[in-house]
Amino acid sequence: MTEAVSQPDRPQQFEGGERDLFSKFDELIQMREGLLASGMEDPFGLVMERVLSPTVAVCNGRETILLGTYNYMGMTFDPEVIDAGRTALTDFGSGTTGSRVLNGTYQGHKEVEQALCEFYGMDHAMVFSTGYQANLGIISTIAGKGDYIVLDIDSHASIWDGCKMGDAEVVPFRHNDIEAMEKRLRRIPEGAGKLVILEGVYSMLGDVAPLKEMIAVARANGAMILVDEAHSMGFIGPNGRGVAEEQGVLDDVDFVIGTFSKSVGTVGGFCVSNHPKFEIMRLVCRPYVFTASLPPSVVATAATSIRKLMEAGDKREHLWSNSRKLHKGLKDLGFRLGTDEPQSAIISVIMPDLEKGAAMWEALLHEGLYVNLARPPATPANMTLLRCSLCAEHSEEQVDTIVGMFERAGRATGII
Amino acid sequence: MDRAETANRIASLIEPFNKKGVTITDDTTFAGDLEFDSLTVMDFVAAIEDEFDIIISMNQQAEIETYGQLVDAVVRLRSEQS
């Protein structure tokens, strides 16, 4: 333990009197040390030593059911997906060592963009190296000085960072509050460009947005609309295109942002659009230009997975049945949940406080179950949450086992 | 509406957010003295925006640290945005 940890109130002075730039983290360091000093396992230091399937891994030496990954459609071990990656690795090498606009566009990058156009039924698709960069790049590039961004206060960090990187005026509104959004849109000075940013599924509570109503209001006020469908791709909507498709308003969305790191089962991000001038983004969007493109094996696995997701109706149905079963099981046990009804593949369990939440998280891990511990400031209203994300590969029996684990851990920690 | 009247209306708007009953002057800071967290800021800003029919973007909020600066900003935004 360092001085800074045991005496965080006294700013550390280095020789020469320079202030330690790390002093600003002292409060967090202290909170973390306090948590670990109680003997608990580090919620943010989990190591998966072996991954046995999309739903089971060996974590910290224990065989563990995975209920905190974003592997919604269980594509990570799909034999066709793995074969495609292996072939591309052999044929095209381990990496591109270059930007998409220079030497980093291979056949595979064009093929995955074509697969996205077909998946969404849209004219243009642009693939980024991560989902984070897709939001960062598109938002900071299209909303410039004098433009206004109107966005939900519970937006993902990549959206906020995209706002911060650009020069537009940023105006947030209360989560899913249609009236609050409308008021702000109406007050924007005449002639200013407007971008409304929404998400299909909000990942902390697993709730969906009333996109139909919100998009109608945004349209009526002359705004362009960007929807992040990261947590809905593959299983919400008749073709798995997301919440906008489910609510029948995908045609009114100007830009859909998505990721390969959830249902698709690898890594990467994208934007699809019907905007006639969309292709210019490849030259002006800095997080697209100034970074290396995805490795050939990654785009090959993504393209194969996306094409399989178009035909994944049975898996979609099983995932929904898992979601309903877990939601009911936890609700019947008396846990407080993020939504009254299951709205997505995320079931969020609200903990009384961080201490109890951490204890419950650890008790579940000892039972052999991994969930995500989410705490302020990443959570809405400063809640501590245990976020459960289901997979289409979880069996019915596994969901029963999970409910039993929650029951024992909940009673042991006094939460139910 | 002059500065004094704007200040009066803001004074009544801030009351429900001033949970600790801090005595407010032009030098009172929102983050330090009033201990506003991000959610409180959002609700308080929304109350002011609705009262005066203005937008205070996050870019503008970043420049506002004290109560006095807020009153000045509202006076200025009202003349610009009306």
The DSSP secondary structure of A85-111, one letter per residue, reads HHHHHHHH-S---SBTTTT---HHHHH
Contacts of B49 (CB under 8 A, 6+ apart): A183, A184, A187, B55, B56
Same domain, A211 and A257: yes
Residue with tokens 């974003």: A70
The Cα A275–Cα A254 span in angstroms is 7
Provide the pLDDT confidence category of residue A6 given band limits of 50, 70 and 90.
very low
Q: Does A319 reside within a domain?
A: yes
What band does A9 get if pLDDT is binned at 50, 70 and 90? low
Predicted local distance difference test score (pLDDT) of residue A205? 96
- Mean pLDDT, chain A, rounded, equals 94
DSSP calls for A157-190: HHHHHHHHHS-SEEEEESTT-HHHHHHHHHHSPT
Q: Mark whether A300 and A357 lie in a shared domain.
A: no
Chain B residue with CA closest to A150: the answer is B57
**Do A65 and A94 lie in a common domain?**
no
Residue A50 in this model has a pLDDT that exceeds 50: yes
Domain count, chain A: 2
Residue B82: pLDDT band with limits 50, 70, 90: low
Better-predicted residue by pLDDT, A379 or A139: A139
Mean pLDDT along residues A76-88: 98
On the question of pLDDT at A2 being above 50, the answer is no
User: For the residues A9-19, what does the mean pLDDT come to?
Assistant: 57
- Looking up tokens 């299209």 gives A142
Alpha carbon of B61 to those of A33, A169, B43, B58: distances in Å?
Answer: 34, 11, 13, 5
A30 within some domain: no
Give domain status of residue A260, yes or no.
Answer: yes
pLDDT the model gives residue A3 = 40
Per residue in A279-307, pLDDT (tens digit) is: 999 999 999 999 999 999 999 999 999 99
Whether A339 is covered by a domain: the verdict is yes
* Residue-number span of the structural domain to which B56 is assigned: 3-81
Does residue A20 lie within any of the structural domains?
no
CATH of the domain at A380: 3.90.1150.10
Look up the ipTM and state it: 0.93
Tell me, yes or no, if the pTM score tops 0.90: yes
Inform me whether the C-beta atom of residue A165 falls under 8 Å from chain B C-beta atoms: no
Q: Mean pLDDT, to the nearest integer, of A351-357?
A: 93
Range of the domain at A298: 79-309
| Whole-number Å distance between alpha carbons of A115 and B74 | 50
Residues A118 and A160 in one domain: yes
Q: How far is A184 from chain B (nearest CA, A)?
A: 7
Q: Please tell me if residue B82 touches chain A, with a CB cutoff of 8 Å.
A: no
Domain co-membership, A323 together with A373: yes
pLDDT tens digits, one per residue of A359-414: 999 999 999 999 999 988 778 888 999 999 999 999 999 999 999 999 999 999 99
CATH code (residue A187): 3.40.640.10
C-alpha dist (Å) from residue A79 to A119, A148, A224, A262, A305:
21, 46, 40, 18, 10
Contact B49 A174 (CB under 8 A): no
User: Which of A283, A309, A335 marks a domain boundary?
Assistant: A309
Asked if residue A1 is part of any domain, the answer here is no
Report residue A239's pLDDT band, with 50, 70 and 90 as the boundaries: very high
**Which of A263, A287, A309 marks a domain boundary?**
A309
CB contact under 8 A, B55 and A171: yes
How many whole angstroms separate alpha carbon B58 and alpha carbon B18?
21
Q: Per this entry, what is the length of chain A?
A: 416
Tens of pLDDT, residue by residue over A95-127, are 999 999 999 999 999 999 999 999 999 999 999
Q: Is residue A7 part of a domain?
A: no
What CATH number should be reported for the domain holding residue B58? Answer: 1.10.1200.10
At A255, give phi and psi (nearest 5°).
-140, 125
As a dihedral over the C-alpha atoms of residue A307, residue A310, residue A315, residue A316, rounded to 10 degrees, the angle is 140
Domain end position, chosen among A272, A287, A309: A309
Quick check: A58 pLDDT over 90?
yes
Q: Which of B42, B54, B60 sits opposite A187 (nearest CB)?
A: B54
Is A385 found in the same domain as A263? no
B65 min Cα distance to partner chain A (Å):
18
Are A64 and A166 in the same domain? no
The answer to whether A180 contacts chain B (CB < 8 Å) is: yes
How would you classify the pairing of strands A384-389 and A372-374? antiparallel
Q: In which residue are the tokens 């997701």 written?
A: A309
* Domain count across chain B: 1
pLDDT digits (tens, 9 = 90+) for B24-68: 999 999 999 999 988 899 999 999 999 999 999 999 999 999 999
